[in-house]
Amino acid sequence: MHMDSYANLIPLVILVPAIGALINLVLGHKLGERISGLVGVTASVLAFIFSVLIFAYLNDPAVVTGAVINPVAFFDGWIRIGSEAGFNVSIPWQFRVDTITAVMLLVVTGIGSLIHIYSIGYMHGDPKYGRFFAFLNMFLMFMLILVSGNNFLMMFVGWEGVGLMSYLLIGFWWEKSGPVGWKNSDAGRKAMIANRVGDFGIIMASILIFWTFGTLDYYSPGEVANSCYVLEHAGAISELQAEHGECDMEAVNAFAAGEAGHSEEGDATEEGGETEGSEHSDANAGIVLVQHTEETGEAEHGEGEATAEGEHAAAPHMTAEEMTNANFLPAQMGAFNQLATLMQLDEGEEILWNVDASGNAIMRGREVDFGPFSADISAMLFLIIFFLLLGATGKSAQIPLFVWLPDAMAGPTPVSALMHAATMVTAGVYLLVRSNVFLAYSPEGRFLIAIIGASTALMAGIIAMGQWDIKRVLAFSTVSQLGFMVAAVGVGAYVAAIFHLATHAVFKALLFLGSGSVIHGVEHGHHHVHEHHGHDDHHDDHHDEHEFDPQDMRNMGGLRRRMPITFLTYLAGTFALSGLPIFAGFWSKDEILLDALVHGSESTHPLDQLAGFLVFFILLIAAAFTAFYMWRQIQMVFYGDPRSEAAAHAPESVASMTVPLIILAIGATFVGLINVPGGAWPFTLFYKEHEFTHFLEASMPSITTGHVLSFNWLVAGIATLFAFLAIFVAHSIYAGNKAVRGEHGAEDGRDPLQDQASTSQLFVAASRRLYWDDFYFATVVRPYQRIAAFLANVVDWNFWHDYVHDKVIKRGYDAISGLLANPLDIGLIDGAVNGIGRLVSYFSGRFRTIQTGYVRTYAVVLLLGVVAVIVLMVLPLIPTGS
Amino acid sequence: MENAGLLTTAVLFLPLVGLTVLLFLNGKTQVENIKWTTFGFTILTFLASLVMWANFDTSVAGLQMVHQWEWLNIQVGGNTITSTYYVGVDGLSMLLVLLTTFIMPIAVLASFSMHVLEERGRQKLYYGFLLLLEWAMLGVFMIQDLIIFYVFWEVTLVPMYFLIGIWGAERRVYAAVKFFLYTMAGSILMLIAILYVANVTGTFLLPEIIAQVQANPNIWNEWSGAASASNVTGALLFFGFFVAFAIKVPIFPFHSWLPDAHVQAPTTGSVILAGVLLKMGTYGLVRFNLSMFPEQSVQYAGFIALLGVIGIIYGAWVSYAQTDVKKLVAYTSISHLGFVVVGIFALNSQGIQGATLQMVNHGISTGGLFLIVGIMYERYHTKAMDAYGGIWRIAPAFGAVALIVSLSSMGLPGLNGFIGEFTILLGSLGSNYLGFFFTLFATLGVIMAAVYILYMFQHVFMGELKVPHGEDAGTFSLNLKWNEVAVLIPIIVLIFWIGVQPGGFFDIMSASTNELVSHVETAHTEVMDANPVETNAEFAYVGETVVTSDAAE
């Protein structure tokens, strides 16, 4: 097997967790914990190994562009509708393996595997153990489909699939008795419905994309995402030119002129390259292009090429045309490159767009024209971005749809870590980054995204400061950090967004698993206390058990001595999240801040300038809040004295839980170094500068900001200062056990901020989540229910069903049948009408007591009546002839 | 071709053969034989329809496997009545025939353990009606002669009327009569329209009528036989058919009979009603309204699609407030079929193909939901949602199946419902006659579906376990019977199949749909060209075409 074929492993990455899920789903209850866990973990780890291979393959400097992979031939496409109007719908099951996907694969399966391992210990003793692992595996499967699909609809399959798994796993403990169980299932439902609102956006966006571009594909097989990057690697243009996007046909033509000389070198002996297209390599340029391996797409575009370009269709190496997609007609390309082509046009200008079946040229300009809809491409683009963003706000918990995420903490903690912190919730960010070409051409769209992201980051940061539940703090922190990523996308810092996504996945998973370990410990401590008390105290305990909440930070305190490993790893996560130097979050957050600043100062569009500065300042404040609430949490959970018996007796967790914590803690400390910026001495001595950025560039044609920005000591310094200041303030407020457990349990515990006049109102507002839920309940939920009840009971039933139909129409019918029965008393018509008349009287009263014998008579009469009516009415009306 | 035609006839009459066999069985002593004979014949019909599918040529746009036989030709006072037995299928019919033959064995099998049958007896009659119903429904989808179509259309009413009226719930007779009268009222308009159409075209045969429409799209408005032909005539004819079909679908606001019929019908009745009978309405819209009245279809597309959109939202909203599980599912039909209506009147390939697939999908997923509700009803003897709860606790697999069917109904991508919905929405945006706001509001239905379906699922399957009266919570279990398990399996299989690989289903209808769409487009363009502004100039043009078409004949 050649190295290059590792891209073809992608179907396996998905298949393996699918098989794991199937085994556990079907046999889960028979396998027992040990084997169930083993199956789940094995599936996940295998997927991770495949992902690493794919990643390593794409990381090979000889490989400069991604591939479109068709799955096994068993899947012959997906949705296909031949149409008369040229807009054939063809949506295949097809994978896109490029560097964005590779990063996501690695994050999902890597964190996923650790969390699978952690779950072995955490879920121990749960009656639905097997099903839990089945769901986790299934989640992996859908998440992998999400990040590896080559079109928006396949992405959407994964998108909804993870939503479903989220629904099932948030409500995983719906079976708990009493209101707790019901609340769990409520949380799941809330998540699903909030996400459905986002899905509405995705569907709308997909439809708009289809009618704008005639395809939902990201890229066609053989298409190059970032021509500049490829040309730069081929030596056709300089790095500087590539940075400035100077990779147009002029540069290429110059390159192609030189290239023509050695075009015959490669063709004859390349193994199978011609028809299979599995490998096209050019020894001179050192480029390997992985292309589609299967047939369907090729046949189509092969024809098109032949019509358009003639001979270049199956060149054995990557020609200049291939690098710049010049051998594709615009209509044959995926949505992104089509857009890039269209945006180059002036108003009124038209280019050859496609060639129809009979060989006629189809021209197209900037305007999008379908049905009664007609708009300039840029207006259309804003609409598309708007709906994509709506989708992203659902899945990635941004304003206005974030409200489901905090409730999602009802699920088991590994689920919170995996789905609601590290991976699933980043799907929206992934989607936006994937659509970076769209964003590159829409300043308005970018602005909207930046504002949504930044305000979410700030808002959630405020709320997090007022939470008591250890997981809720982290949940709002996640919302806030996702806001950072979305804001980064909004200022064009796509790489920084993905970078932060990756580092955040590591340290937030760590924090969640750490909190899980804490909760687990406190719960065990609680049971421990329960067991060792005598019968005298039993009554009290029973009462206590009702009230005791193992997730409430007011019940904790002093845990650093009881759970040292959890504490230290948690500390690493906190530093990473707060953005203290060297730790992972420092690099990624700094990258976002710097990019925002540069975006603001160097962009030409006023909206970009505004967005850049706004994002910079808002995120700076939000970052300070982050450090503040995290330090508050550290103080409340790990420092001071235990505020409950349970906390005093909490044991450290088992090895299967602490080992993933340690691994993640190491990651949280060092993973940021994968993308050390230039000038960040002394780190640059050990790590290649901006390696991650370079890796991602191949799939991102439109890096407008932060291409290779050097380390900015000032920005980093300010950010660090803010973080330390916030920690200092938090320390002075919370150190020394100041959040106390109240006399009657955790609910009476007070926060120092609460008792201070200047901050108490804000604290209350924050702890009530700034009233978002109340607001939605009053303006959406209640009205929806009321209108539903009104429509169902009053409009549909009382009025339309009972009054109009059963009274008005029936009476009218009675009257007419009475009128008709007498004057038209002739022959068979009598029978028919009489039948109806009798039915009506029957309808009006006696239906409860009637014998079934009558019913039969009526139907027979009716049947005869129908036939008779037909015959009678037909006779005189039929024309002669024919 | 001859043999293939016989195949169509065979599929059509197999249920009737079964019915004949049934007549010779003793209703009192041979109940088991009656059950299995019925089941056998429905399965046989299903297999035969699979053979049809295998013989179906997807590249042919028009009718295929045609079987023709003139059965009525009488001279009455210088007039000739000709009626032809003319069966055949095109892509649209083929799918619906398959749907019918697929649903029927399931319905029969589901009846095997229905308590109400044992309680009220008359099983021979019951199974006889099922076969009669299958025959009539297949006839509706296969017959190409308007008058025979009408007869079949009416005949479907009779067995369904009895199914509801004899084996239904408390208010069964009321519901049955309402169902009958409501649908009849619509059909009578259709009958009048059929007769007028026959007068204009001189034939009852749909292919011939369509050919005439193709030759002269303005045919309805310029019939020389009428004293005062005008623009109104075509519209009246169009709506004559439309109202009959709209009631059957039902399109908002003609839906008032549906909740009654569904709630009162026995499980089988609901399954067939939702699974197939309602599709007769949407089928009729495509087959008759679109092909015979292309210009009118274009003209009223916006209006009717608006009714569809209202139906989507209204149905979803109303079903959320239901306290009766079966009624909730019944209202979802209004919402789902709203999608179908929007798709049909998008008048493009995406819309119509999506709509047709959605007819099948709705049959599967809503049929499945009714089966599930029926299974629970057999144990709980109530449809009130309050009485249910926590069923997933005692029946993990059954709960999972219910979840899958619910999600399919909700339109989760990867399952069948999504494919139809998405293509319909796709069509609606690209349609020349609808547009952005239709799509926007129709898509809202996607959110609303999640609201009602998840509400129902949570209340019925999650939460504390509630058991039927007189049962012990500790020992209660659903104890699914073998046939109850068996009916759910094919539903699940198809949900995934269509969800993941719908290509084959699209292929079936592709050619027919494309031709229909271009037929509508061409007719519309011709009328528009001839008649850019509605003035008297129309009549000049009209005269010309009449001459040419006469000459052609």
Domain parsing of chain B, residue ranges: 2-552
> Could you tell me the two tokens for A130?
């097997």
> A160, A203, A374, A848: which to substitute to probe chain B, counting the most B Cβ within 10 Å?
A203
- Residues in Cβ contact with A485 at an 8 Å cutoff, skipping those fewer than 6 apart: A396, A426, A429, A453, A497, A500, A501, A504, A592
Q: Give the integer Cα–Cα distance in Å for A515 and A474.
A: 9
Can you tell me which residue has the tokens 């019901």?
A182
List of residues 6+ apart from A788 with CB closer than 8 A: B317, B318, B320, B321
Residue with tokens 């007498």: A822
Look at residues B344, B184, B358 and name the one whose alpha carbon lies nearest to residue A865. B184
Tokens of A788: 């539903």
For residue A609, the distance in angstroms to the closest alpha carbon of chain B comes to 33
Strands (DSSP E) contained in A572-712 are none
The pLDDT of A61-86, averaged and rounded, is 76
pLDDT of A672 reads: 87
Amino acid A840: pLDDT: 55
Query: Which of B81, B200, B407, B426 to mutate to test binding with chain A, by most A CBs within 10 Å of its CB?
Result: B426
Lowest-confidence segment of A528-532, A623-627, A771-775, B232-236 by average pLDDT? A528-532
* The pLDDT of residue A622: 95
Q: Is the peptide bond before A660 cis (omega within 30 degrees of 0)?
A: no
Q: Please identify which residue in the block is written with the tokens 């159409």.
A: B197
CA distance B406 to chain A (A): 12
What is the structure's pLDDT at B76? 63
Task: State residue B401's pLDDT score.
Answer: 95
Q: Classify the phi-psi angles of A223: left when phi > 0, otherwise alpha if psi is within -120 to 50, otherwise beta.
A: beta
| CA nearest to B329, candidates B423, B446, B457 | B457
Report the pLDDT value the prediction gives residue A857, as an integer from 0 to 100: 57
Q: Is the dihedral of CA A292, A293, A297, A300 positive or negative?
A: positive
Nearest to A404 by CA among A520, A511, A458, A482: A482
CA atoms of A529 and A580, how far apart (whole Å): 38
Q: Could you report the per-residue pLDDT of B81-139, keeping only the tens digit for each? A: 677 888 999 999 999 999 999 999 999 999 998 888 888 878 889 999 999 999 999 99
Q: Taking all residues of chain A, what is their mean pLDDT, rounded to a whole number? A: 80
With 50 as the cut, is the pLDDT of residue A300 above it? no
pLDDT at residue A246, as a whole number: 64
Q: Does the pLDDT of residue A253 top 80, yes or no?
A: no
Sheet hosting strand A287-289, strand order edge to edge: A63-65, A287-289, A280-282
Query: Which of these ranges, A161-170, A570-579, A819-828, has the smallest mean pLDDT?
Result: A819-828
Give the end-to-end CA distance of chain A in Å, rounded to a whole number: 72
Chain B CB contacts of A879 under 8 Å are 79, 198-199, 202, 225
Decide: helix, strand or coil at residue B69. strand
Out of B348, B407, B429, closest to residue A164 by CB: B407
Taking CB atoms within 8 Å and a gap of at least 24, the contacts of A605-611 are A605/A443, A607/A443, A607/A444, A607/A446, A607/A447, A608/A443, A608/A446, A608/A447, A608/A491, A608/A492, A610/A447, A611/A446, A611/A447, A611/A450, A611/A451, A611/A490, A611/A491
The pLDDT tens digits of the residues spanning A656-677 come to: 889 999 999 999 999 888 888 8
State percent of chain B over pLDDT 70. 92
Distance between CA atoms of A671 and B251, rounded to whole angstroms?
59
Could you tell me the pLDDT band of residue B186, with boundaries at 50, 70 and 90? confident
Phi-psi category of residue A736: left, alpha or beta, with phi > 0 → left and psi -120 to 50 → alpha: left
> B69 φ, ψ to 5°?
-165, 120
β-bridge pairing A63-65 and A287-289: parallel
Tell me, yes or no, if B436 comes closer than 8 A to chain A by beta carbon: yes
pLDDT of A196 higher than 70:
yes
DSSP letter for each residue of A286-331: TEEE----SSHHHHHHHHHHHHHTSSGGG-SS--HHHHTTTTS-GG
**In the structure, how many helices (H) and strands (E) does chain B have?**
24, 2
Give the C-alpha separation, A615 to B213, whole Å.
63
Question: In the 8-state DSSP scheme, what is residue B199?
Answer: H
**Across the strands, what pairs with B143?**
B87
pLDDT confidence band for A752 (50 / 70 / 90) = confident
Which of A9, A449, A440, A10 has the alpha carbon at shortest distance from A226?
Answer: A440
Contact B423 A804 (CB under 8 A): no
Contact present, A569 and A583 (Cβ < 8 Å): no
What confidence category does residue B286 fall into, taking pLDDT thresholds of 50, 70 and 90?
very high
**Model confidence band, residue A65 (pLDDT cutoffs 50, 70, 90):** confident
Mean predicted confidence (pLDDT) in A307-333? 61
What digits encode the pLDDT tens for the residues A6-47? 888 888 999 999 999 999 988 877 888 889 999 999 999 999
Res A108 pLDDT > 60? yes
pLDDT of A860: 63
> How many Å apart are CA A139 and CA A262, to the nearest integer?
49
* pLDDT (average), residues A416-424: 90
pLDDT of residue A642: 86
Question: What is the 3-state secondary structure of A519-557?
Answer: HHHHHHHHHHHHHHCCHHHHHHHHHHHHHCCCCEHHHCC
User: For residue A535, what pLDDT band results from cuts at 50, 70 and 90?
Assistant: very low
The three-class DSSP label of residue B254 is coil
**Separation CA B509–CA A90 (nearest Å):** 15
The pLDDT score that the predictor gives to residue B226 is 52
CB contact under 8 A, A83 and B349: yes
Of residues A549 and B405, the one with the higher pLDDT is B405
The whole-number pLDDT of residue A645 equals 85
Q: Which residue, B208, B1, B93, B211, is CA-closest to B513?
A: B93
Mean pLDDT over residues A146-164, rounded? 94
A691-721 per-position pLDDT tens digit: 788 888 888 876 554 456 777 888 889 999 9
CA gap B361, A242 in Å, rounded? 50
Q: Which helix (H) or strand (E) element contains residue B66? A: strand B64-76
Residue A469, beta-bridge partner list: A552
Whether A879 and B318 lie within 8 Å, measured CB to CB: no
Is omega for the bond preceding A564 within 30 degrees of 0, making it cis? Answer: no
- The number of angstroms, rounded, from the C-alpha of A199 to the middle of its chain's C-alpha atoms is 10
Q: Which helix (H) or strand (E) holds A622?
A: helix A606-638
* pLDDT, mean of residues B16-27: 90
Looking at residue B519, its amino acid is H
- Nearest residue of B to residue A181 by CA position? B463
Q: Could you give the CA distance from residue A681 to residue A599 in angstroms, rounded to a whole number?
A: 24
pLDDT at A310 over 50: no
pLDDT digits (tens, 9 = 90+) for A401-411: 999 999 999 88
Which residues on chain B are in Cβ contact (under 8 Å) with A873?
191, 195
What's the CA gap between A194 and A207, in Å, rounded? 21
Q: For the segment A597-648, what is each residue's pLDDT rounded down to a tens digit? A: 988 888 888 998 999 999 999 999 999 999 999 999 999 999 888 888 888 8
Confidence of residue B540 (pLDDT cuts 50, 70, 90): very low
Q: Do B150 and A847 make contact, defined as CB atoms within 8 angstroms? A: no
- Does residue A836 have a pLDDT over 70? no
Interface membership of B412 toward A (CB under 8 Å): yes
* Mean model confidence pLDDT for chain B: 88
Q: Give me the residues of B, 478-507, that contact A with CB < 8 A.
A: 500-503, 506-507
Q: Write out the two tokens for A267.
A: 């063709």
Q: What is the pLDDT, as a whole number, of residue A533?
A: 60
**Contact check, Cβ <8 Å, A181/B429:** no
Beta carbons of A820 and A800 less than 8 angstroms apart: no
Put simply, the answer to whether B464 touches A177 (Cβ < 8 Å) is: yes
- Taking the whole predicted model, whether its pTM rises above 0.95 is answered as no
For residue A880, give the chain B residue with the closest CA.
B79
For residue A170, pLDDT over 70 is answered with yes
Give the model confidence (pLDDT) of A476-505 as tens digits.
Answer: 999 999 999 999 999 988 989 999 999 999
Closest CA to B358 of B545, B498, B491, B225: B498
Q: Specify the 3-state DSSP secondary structure of A603.
A: coil
Pairs of CB atoms within 8 A across A/B? 241
DSSP helix/strand/coil, B144:
coil
Residue B309 contacts residue B338 (beta carbons within 8 Å)? yes
**For B128-180, what is each residue's pLDDT tens digit?**
999 999 999 999 999 999 988 998 999 998 899 989 988 988 888 888 888 88
Q: Are B36 and B16 in contact (CB under 8 A)?
A: no
Residues 219-238 of B with CB under 8 A from A: 225
Instruction: Tell which residue, A429, A443, A409, has the closest CA to residue A512.
Output: A409
- Alpha helices per DSSP H over B381-502: 391-394, 396-410, 416-430, 436-461, 482-500
> Is the pLDDT score of A729 beyond 70?
yes
ipTM of this predicted structure:
0.92
Angle at which helices B482-500 and B91-111 cross, to 10°? 160
